A and B are shown apart, each in its own frame.
Chain A
């Protein structure tokens, strides 16, 4: 997709979102706004600007630094910072290369979170920006914990644990972070706002 086509899609999406906003069609406004923005960010960050690369690099370097504190040696390729070499100790299996791709970079989750928070109805700009900022940090941190868990498991327990640590436990760890993040940033404020509205209606 070239930039012109991307621009046209952005305009169409913005027009549709504004239409739904203007006519107070909140459900469609939210779905189109959140899904569309997530999609555009993922595409833009993947193909147009080096956002994915930046996230992969920072995740890789962060894991590299923190893993060292746990005594696990890792190496990063300068030319491909998304790839981490992990030293696998126990069975003398040597190095294993882990590649941090679009899924492990946190780009997808970050974009989803941005869409859901940026278009959530009923918030003023200040709290919205604060929540997006906190959400990004928390998502990045959650992703880091997941990656670190995979790296440490791989290093100390060997390659055979890759399925369990990557697909099952790593996924569950990140999922727990997602639940906490969405509870804190969406469910709790929603309940607070609804409560305030109900009490205001009751007391006039």
Chain B
């Protein structure tokens, strides 16, 4: 019996031990993050006369946002935070649609807060954000995207976190993906639900672990908050990389010695789901590129702290997000083909199934453990889509491939916000090739 067990594991363990080890440890880190989120000291509610609550500036960079800006501004008007202490600045960078009309419509509505419009003649989010930072006066600066909506208590929860802990320099809110519209079809629905669960575990577990170890790597561009003096210690946003949020996060660590950057998942921002695999590809390629670019510009953060548990270790992050991508990439394709090199089909097949079950299990584990601490609506949605964790390994596999693309493309192509997906690119290239062959054939016949 024992011999059988050992021989089974000698055979199987060879294939499974490394993925089990790496991803099992990562799941464990997520679990620690969750435990931290459950037991961390919650920020006390802000007390006292509302007139004395700190002034908050909300900066919204926008470019052609006529479809989404209205909803974003409405969510700000519905905040539980005293409106008199809110100052909203919409920084328009060269919109060509009726964004200004939407703004005027919202501004005309009765509200105690201030709403300003600034127009700048050039494109680029970093410039728009910096303009907003210079033009506002709030004690706290909050940046949100124009295509999101804040939960009613988002600003209050965020300010409460800062007020209860003076060591916090900056914070990111929790990002939650909204469901896809029923008429969008099955694929957008699946993408939305997978993204929803991915973000849920990222913000309630992953970012919590990073908060616990003070290693938060990216302030979400959709909703980030700063103590103004912390922000002014840096050179603000810059467009050197495609990921200005990550660059600024690292700049805060660099310029403020005792900086603490945290995640406040109770301060929720709602985000429309990514509409297609093509957009998801473009987004993840950009994120991966941004991560590499920011890491490349901060070499001093790479080497010295690999084994240091507290603080941001770029080397650890890059090892998982870059170095290991490559052997994994080839093995993922080679492994099923090992049957042609004498490995029994049953062995390879069973190992693949076991691996899939392992990863689906990790996703069920993260979903089940976040379940008790998220809100009622989120719980309902998790229950409704209880079968999504079964699909999550396939979704994460796609994301993994997109990451590989994001690691390759920056070495040959300049940065671009929109990247064509490989299927479309191949179709276009094939079309060009066929046209060339036809042209050549025509010439030969003539």
Whether B432 and A25, one on each chain, are in contact in the complex, defined by CB atoms closer than 8 angstroms, is: no
Residue of B293, B302, B329, B404 touching A194 (CB-CB under 8 A): B293
A112 to B432, CA, bound (A): 32
Residue of A23, A39, A168, A194 touching B410 (CB-CB under 8 A): A194
Whether B302 and A191, one on each chain, are in contact in the complex, defined by CB atoms closer than 8 angstroms, is: yes
Whether A19 and B330, one on each chain, are in contact in the complex, defined by CB atoms closer than 8 angstroms, is: no
A191 to B326, CA, bound (A): 15
Whether a CB of chain B sits under 8 angstroms from the CB of A67 is no
Whether a CB of chain B sits under 8 angstroms from the CB of A38 is yes
Whether B330 and A116, one on each chain, are in contact in the complex, defined by CB atoms closer than 8 angstroms, is: yes
- Inside 8 A of B404's CB, which chain A residues have their CB? 27, 30-31
Interface residues of A in 155-199 (CB under 8 A from B): 162-163, 166-168, 171-172, 175, 178-179, 182-183, 186-187, 190-195, 197-198
Whether B330 and A171, one on each chain, are in contact in the complex, defined by CB atoms closer than 8 angstroms, is: no
Identify the closest chain A residue to B420 (Cβ): A25
With A26-B408, A27-B404, A186-B323 known as contacts, the answer to whether A112 contacts B241 (CB < 8 A) is no
Q: How far is the CB of B16 from chain A (nearest CB, A)?
A: 9
Whether B426 and A25, one on each chain, are in contact in the complex, defined by CB atoms closer than 8 angstroms, is: yes
Whether B329 and A193, one on each chain, are in contact in the complex, defined by CB atoms closer than 8 angstroms, is: no
Whether B342 and A102, one on each chain, are in contact in the complex, defined by CB atoms closer than 8 angstroms, is: yes
A-contact 0/1 string along B392-406, CB 8 Å cutoff = 000000000100110
Whether B322 and A39, one on each chain, are in contact in the complex, defined by CB atoms closer than 8 angstroms, is: no
With A31-B329, A34-B330, A202-B240 known as contacts, the answer to whether A42 contacts B341 (CB < 8 A) is yes
- Inside 8 A of A27's CB, which chain B residues have their CB? 401, 404-405, 408-409, 422
Whether a CB of chain B sits under 8 angstroms from the CB of A35 is yes
Q: How far is the CB of B248 from chain A (nearest CB, A)?
A: 16
Interface of B is mostly: helix
Interface size band for B: 35 or more
With A183-B323, A190-B322 known as contacts, the answer to whether A24 contacts B413 (CB < 8 A) is yes
Whether A171 and B18, one on each chain, are in contact in the complex, defined by CB atoms closer than 8 angstroms, is: yes
Whether A121 and B13, one on each chain, are in contact in the complex, defined by CB atoms closer than 8 angstroms, is: no
Interface residues of B in 6-29 (CB under 8 A from A): 6, 9-10, 13-14, 17-18, 21
Q: How far is the CB of B20 from chain A (nearest CB, A)?
A: 11
Whether a CB of chain A sits under 8 angstroms from the CB of B429 is yes
- Inside 8 A of B329's CB, which chain A residues have their CB? 31, 34-35, 116
Whether A182 and B323, one on each chain, are in contact in the complex, defined by CB atoms closer than 8 angstroms, is: yes
Whether a CB of chain A sits under 8 angstroms from the CB of B246 is no
Whether B296 and A30, one on each chain, are in contact in the complex, defined by CB atoms closer than 8 angstroms, is: no
Residue of A46, A166, A168, A182 touching B326 (CB-CB under 8 A): A182
Whether A168 and B411, one on each chain, are in contact in the complex, defined by CB atoms closer than 8 angstroms, is: no
Task: Please list the residues of chain B having a beta carbon within 8 angstroms of any beta carbon in chain A.
Answer: 6, 9-10, 13-14, 17-18, 21, 240-241, 292-293, 295-297, 299, 302, 318-319, 322-324, 326-327, 329-331, 333-334, 337, 340-342, 401, 404-405, 407-413, 422, 425-426, 429, 432-433
Query: Given contacts A35-B334, A116-B326, A198-B241, could you give 10 more A-B pairs where the C-beta distance is less than 8 Å?
Result: A26-B405, A26-B411, A26-B412, A35-B333, A39-B333, A112-B334, A191-B318, A194-B411, A195-B299, A201-B240
Listed by A's residue number, 25 A-B pairs whose Cβ atoms lie within 8 Å are A19-B433, A24-B412, A26-B411, A27-B401, A27-B404, A28-B425, A35-B329, A42-B341, A115-B330, A116-B326, A162-B6, A163-B6, A163-B9, A163-B13, A168-B17, A171-B14, A175-B18, A182-B324, A183-B323, A186-B323, A194-B410, A194-B411, A195-B299, A198-B293, A201-B240
